[in-house]
A and B are shown apart, each in its own frame.
Chain A
Amino acid sequence: MSLWEYANPVKFMGLSSRLIPTLSVLTILCLVTGIVWGFFGTPDDYKQGSTVKIIFLHVPSALMAINAWMMMLVASLVWLIRRHHVSALAAKAAAPIGITMTLIALGTGAIWGKPMWGTYWAWDPRLTSFMILFVFYLGYMALWSAIEDSDTAADLTSILCMIGSVFALLSRYAVNFWNQGLHQGASLSLDKEQHVDDTFYYPLLFCIAGFVLLFVLLVLIRTRTEIRLRRAAALAARNV
């Protein structure tokens, strides 16, 4: 059994309909556990006070904003190389989720930045590359809507996705490239000396797992929506 079999829309619909109920339950469990534990069960930070609780939404959303684009890149490459329509539709389906995650990360970051840095916004390398990533998301979605022929739209958005990947990676690693900037290093690291204290780390892991599961769940649902709309358009074209 090959993974490519799921590029067949019928197989994809069958598999995704079986996965969605389980994924929904796991998503709710992880998100509720992580957010309730993080909000109610963690103490204030000695430097940042209660604002540290924003980490449970800011870090997972920022992580997913970048990883959604990377998933779109993989799906776009699959489309360009193997011409599987489901992969192009999955990339299209992921964009609104990615842009929402970017907005949450930018919004919570600005709200957190005001009391900690004294400003809502700074042209910090990570913030700037994140803002550019947001513009790429907008451009990607606009391009899908602007082109009538779906294969041409998939081709052009795939190329845009490859270009935007530079900024997605830059947002992840910007703090390592440039020293000037307000952001600290990685909050999550395999090196225990570097990452946040365990008190915050474990609920944060639940929140990250919840956001990852939410992303997968929504991509599946939205891809199914795109497949249905394409099938409906094909049937409608027969009647013209």
Chain B
Amino acid sequence: MPDLGKYADTVILAYIVSFVFLIGLVGLTWLQSRRAKRILATEETRNGK
């Protein structure tokens, strides 16, 4: 861990905020993609395809 001096809290907070948003976005994208696959599979089964 580098010595961030008196601004350590500021820098770490900025990184935490960014990672939370990025991980949230990737996670949400993955969950929505899985949900869409499931919905389509259900509809295709109902249509006998």
Residue B40 contacts which of A221, A232, A239 (CB distance < 8 angstroms)?
A: A232
| Highest count of chain B CB atoms <10 Å: which of A104, A221, A238 | A104
Query: Cβ of A232 and Cβ of B7 under 8 Å apart?
Result: no
A50 and B4 contact, Cβ closer than 8 Å, known pairs A114-B10, A228-B40, A236-B43:
yes
State in angstroms the CA–CA spacing of A54 and B10 once bound together: 9
Near B by CB (< 8 A), chain A positions 84-124 give 96-97, 100, 103-104, 107-108, 111-112, 114-115
Given the interface pairs A49-B5, A104-B22, A107-B18, the reply to whether A231 lies near B40 with Cβ below 8 Å is yes
A108, B14: Cα distance in complex, Å: 5
A235 within 8 Å of B by Cβ? yes
Does B40 contact A39, Cβ atoms closer than 8 Å? no
B11 proximity list for chain A (CB < 8 A): 50-51, 53-54
> Is A126 an interface residue, CB under 8 A from the partner?
no
> Do residues B36 and A232 form an inter-chain contact, with CB atoms below 8 A?
yes
Of B21, B26, B32, B36, the contact of A107 (CB 8 Å cutoff): B21
- A 172-221 contacts with B by CB, 8 A: 214, 218, 221
Report the bound CA distance from A40 to B26 in whole Å.
Answer: 24
- A51 to B14: give the CA distance in the assembly, Å: 9
Query: Which residues of chain B in 3-49 are interfacial with respect to chain A, using CB atoms and an 8 Å cutoff?
Result: 3-8, 10-11, 13-15, 17-18, 21-22, 24-26, 28-30, 32-33, 36-37, 39-40, 42-44, 46-47, 49
- Chain A residues, Cβ within 8 Å of B17: 104, 107-108, 111
Q: Which residue of A lies closest to B41 (CB)?
A: A232
For residue B34, give the distance in angstroms from its CB to the closest CB of chain A. Answer: 9
Interface residues on A, range: 35 or more
B6 near A229 with CB under 8 A, answer: no
Assembled-state Cα–Cα distance A225/B26 (Å): 13
Are B25 and A97 within 8 A (Cβ)? yes
Q: What residue in chain B is nearest A237 (Cβ atoms)?
A: B43
Residues of A within 8 A of B32 (CB): 222, 225
| CB neighbours of A127 from chain B (8 A) | none
Given A50-B5, A104-B18, residue A225 in contact with residue B47 (CB < 8 A) = no
- Listed from nearest, the 3 A-B pairs whose CB atoms lie closest are A235-B43, A50-B4, A228-B36
Interface residues of A (CB under 8 A from B): 39-40, 44, 49-51, 53-54, 57-58, 61, 96-97, 100, 103-104, 107-108, 111-112, 114-115, 214, 218, 221-222, 224-226, 228-229, 231-232, 235-236, 238-239
Known: A49-B6, A107-B21, A229-B36. 13 other contacts (CB 8 A): A50-B3, A50-B7, A51-B11, A53-B4, A57-B15, A108-B14, A222-B29, A222-B33, A228-B36, A228-B39, A232-B39, A232-B40, A239-B46
